[in-house]
Amino acid sequence: MKHVEALASAQLDPQAGVGELPWIEDAGKVAPKDARNLSKLFFDQLQLLEEGTREHQYARNTLVEMNLSLVRFAGRRFMNRGDGDMEDIVQVGTIGLIKAIDRFDPSREVEFSTFAIPYVVGEIKRYFRDTTWAVHVPRRLQELRVDLAKAKEELAVVLDRDPTVKEVAEHMELSEDEVIEGVVAANGYTAGSLDMAADAGEAGPAQVQGRTVADFIGEPDPGMETVEDLHCLNPLLGRLTDRERRIIEMRFGQEMTQSQIGEVLGVSQMQVSRLLSRTLAKLRTGMLADD
């Protein structure tokens, strides 16, 4: 934003001359009423001056400084939006002011303030739309959020209560799914800290007071992973031979040692070890294949 400040505050050496234009030492201190009259004179001369000359630069920069009050006026309405800082808003709005100055045509007999305000407001809105969302949301949904807010406000006045999703959808001529999508997307506009206090009303129950949002967020449950593994194993166990299933049952169901299993089956502990390893490898391969 520094290049905007530099452009808006740049002044030429008064000794160099500024053609037909009066020299204004500090254009930012010109009263709004005087700025309107002087702007007409500067715009008339700006059309005649060659771009890139010192005179053209002086006229353009002075117009920017004299009309910064328009940016501040337009920016006040955005002060309570997000984390809007007035200095940032003015700098962004100044970009819109410069665009308006470059595109203004005095021959159309339209007040410059009337012409410039939409440029300034548009630039500020674009800034908030593109930079202040906590989560990246498609532009279509960003715009839908604004329309939803207006529709809810209008319906609340008519109904004297908060409207339902169905009522909002009918009012906006959208499907209920589209409205729900917009409401969900609106949650991405701001983000709260996990360390903020949990909301439990004005006083809240004793078990909630003093606790943060993070205290109520679920964590991975190892038991669920076990359930998922057993669910995947069930069909694989059905593919084993009776002997293989019996070995698995004795080893992991009855928690018998390999020596004990060997005694039951009438084989050595080494043979049980090999049979168990082969069976487990078969199950492991099946689990990986299912993934």
- Region 45-59: what's the mean pLDDT? 87
Per-residue model confidence (pLDDT) at position 18:
60
What are the b/e assignments for 96-123, b being 16+ CB within 10 Å? bbbebbeebebeeeeebbebbbebbbeb
The DSSP letter of residue 215 is: G
Query: What mean pLDDT comes out for the span 138-143?
Result: 68
φ, ψ (nearest 5 deg) of residue 116: -80, -35
| DSSP letter (8 states) at residue 163 | P
Query: What mean pLDDT is reported for the chain?
Result: 77
One fold for both 134-191 and 222-290? yes
- Over residues 225-252, the pLDDT tens digits come to 777 777 777 888 888 888 888 888 898 8
Where do the H-state alpha helices sit in 176-221?
176-186
The residue assigned the tokens 């709260």 is 192
Strands (E), the chain: none
Q: What is the mean pLDDT of residues 94-99?
A: 92
Instruction: Give the per-residue pLDDT at 94.
Output: 92
When computed from its CA atoms, the radius of gyration of the chain, rounded to whole angstroms, is 36
Whole-angstrom distance, CA of residue 222 vs CA of residue 184: 30
Are 169 and 148 in contact, with CB atoms under 8 Å apart?
no
* Record: fold of 134-191: Arc Repressor Mutant, subunit A (1.10.10)
Q: What is the pLDDT of residues 149-199, one digit of tens each?
A: 888 888 888 888 888 988 988 988 888 888 887 777 666 555 556 666 655
Q: How far apart are CA 133 and CA 81, in angstroms?
A: 11
Class of domain 222-290: mainly alpha
Among 187, 191, 1, 192, which Cα is nearest to 86's? 1
Q: How is the chain split into domains, by residue range?
A: 2-131, 134-191, 222-290
Q: Specify the CATH class of 2-131 in words.
A: mainly alpha
Whether the predicted pLDDT of 12 surpasses 50: no
Token pair for 213: 């949002």
- Distances in whole angstroms, Cα of residue 123 to Cα of each of 28, 100, 103, 175: 21, 11, 15, 31
The predicted pLDDT at position 14 comes to 43
User: What is the reported pTM?
Assistant: 0.44
